[in-house]
Amino acid sequence: MTRRAIVPPATIGMLGGGQLGRYALMAAATMGYRTIVLDPDPSAPAGVVANEHLVAPFDDPAALRRLSFDCDVVTTEFENPPAAALDELAATVLVAPAPAAVRIAQDRIAEKAFLVDNGFPVGRYSTLSDAVEPEIDPSLVDGGAIVKTARLGYDGKGQCSATGVAGTLAAWAQLGGVACVVEERLILQTELSVIVARTSDGRIEAWPVAENLHVDGILDLTVVPAAVSRKLADRAVGLAMAIADALDYVGVLAVELFVVDDQLLVNELAPRPHNSGHWTLDACMTSQFEQQVRAVCGLGLGSTAMTAPSVAMVNLLGDLWSGGSPDWSVVLADPNAKLHLYGKSEARPGRKMGHLTVTSEVGPAAAARALELRSAVVR
């Protein structure tokens, strides 16, 4: 379907006011759009960069009415907006990505079923829900398993490692006995992500493949380009594009991939810009956030070419604040480093407070420098 482009000074609405929303609304503002964000937290990072911040629950009828009256398009920055709220908005205003796509990506059971039904590769798994007597194949879990809640998990939250059938059932109980997937614990060669942007008429662009290191289930380091063969990188991009097509997706979609025995398995989908794409702000012609605006507004997609040979990004978690506010001077003094802080006042352990990016001629140098700078800020 081709639709008319939404051009500035049209109004873009955002469900969710975290750092992803903050960057997308900054990109929108740069291009001359008006922006409204809905988030119940009065200190949400996107609130200060939006023209208007509606401080209300995501399913607040009055707030949703405001968005549908005042916005030309509404998008999201997290995978857990109530699907019913998206449906309600979609009845009167353009919502991108479509509620149907968000609904799939916000439920691991639906997501895996979608992937399997469409022939995309995933690791061995089964599902647990209280609707049926749990039945777990011992061969799935005897070598180690991860139980993940179907909904509302992020940054490794809502997950529990387990071994054996009894251990898996205990982990499930610990997670509250809610609907879950049980995955075989895989031996990962590495993790990749591919971020693509797709328009409603099927134009699609991908950024170079990112290689990601997670610590305690939270993204720690991203290096681009990924140190994998050209063939594997091309396959990863092809896979991500095919997934976006199969979802008839509009907007920016991140596809997290495991590399196991030189094969790609889809880990999960994020229906939004992604932490592993933050480097595009500093080392790419078009950031994932500007592209989100372009895609949902039906504009032409920007170039995804890199502006540096190599880039690394490290997350700055609240743990870095344990000895007091970090000393940023060494980061700010480095001509190849960029500091990003999201304006969150409370630094809790594991909370994403910011990130830093380093560009260089070669991948290992960028990663080493980014890690070195992060260590240097601790008081």
Binding site for Mg ion (CB under 5 A): 256
Q: Residue from 77, 111, 183, 211 that binds ligand ADP (CB under 6 A)?
A: 183
- In whole angstroms, give the CA distance from residue 315 to residue 372: 13
Of 69 and 154, the one with the shorter C-beta distance to ligand ADP is 154
> Of the listed pieces 23-31, 92-100, 148-156, 319-327, which binds ligand ADP according to CB under 6 A?
148-156
69 binds, among ligand ADP, Mg ion, none (CB under 5 to 8 A by kind): none
We find the least distance from the C-beta atom of residue 257 to Mg ion, in angstroms, to be 10
Residues 252-281 that bind ligand ADP (CB under 6 A): 256, 267-268
> Of the listed pieces 146-154, 224-232, 316-324, 346-354, which binds ligand ADP according to CB under 6 A?
146-154
Of 112 and 338, the one with the shorter C-beta distance to Mg ion is 112
191 binds, among ligand ADP, Mg ion, none (CB under 5 to 8 A by kind): ligand ADP
- CA torsion angle 244 218 357 30 (round to 10): 50
- In whole angstroms, give the CA distance from residue 334 to residue 245: 41
We find the least distance from the C-beta atom of residue 268 to Mg ion, in angstroms, to be 5
Q: Residue from 66, 214, 235, 351 that binds ligand ADP (CB under 6 A)?
A: 214
We find the least distance from the C-beta atom of residue 33 to Mg ion, in angstroms, to be 29
Partners of 266 in beta bridges: 257
- In whole angstroms, give the CA distance from residue 52 to residue 309: 38
Distances (CA, A) of 53 to 48, 122, 180, 337: 8, 39, 34, 31
Tell me which residue of 222, 196, 193 sits closest to 356, measured CA to CA.
222
> Of the listed pieces 60-68, 85-93, 151-159, 370-378, which binds ligand ADP according to CB under 6 A?
151-159
77 binds, among Mg ion, ligand ADP, none (CB under 5 to 8 A by kind): none
The residue assigned the tokens 């880990």 is: 267
Q: Residue from 217, 225, 309, 343 that binds ligand ADP (CB under 6 A)?
A: 217
Centroid of chain to Cα 368? 24
In the structure encoding, which two tokens stand for residue 242, read together? 């095919």
Partners of 358 in beta bridges: 312, 337
Please give the full DSSP string across 174-228, using - where no structure is assigned: HTTS-SEEEEEPP--SEEEEEEEEE-TT--EEEPPPEEEEEETTEEEEEEES-SS
123 binds, among ligand ADP, Mg ion, none (CB under 5 to 8 A by kind): ligand ADP
- In the chain, beta strands by DSSP E: 11-15, 34-38, 52-54, 73-76, 94-95, 125-128, 145-149, 159-162, 180-184, 190-198, 204-206, 210-215, 218-224, 251-260, 263-270, 310-317, 337-341, 352-360
Residues 109-128 that bind ligand ADP (CB under 6 A): 123
- Under rule CB under 6 A, residue 302 binds ligand ADP: no
We find the least distance from the C-beta atom of residue 212 to Mg ion, in angstroms, to be 9
Of 276 and 280, the one with the shorter C-beta distance to Mg ion is 276
186 binds, among Mg ion, ligand ADP, none (CB under 5 to 8 A by kind): ligand ADP
| Binding stretches for ligand ADP (CB under 6 A) | 123, 146, 148, 153-156, 183, 185-186, 188, 191, 214, 217, 256, 267-268
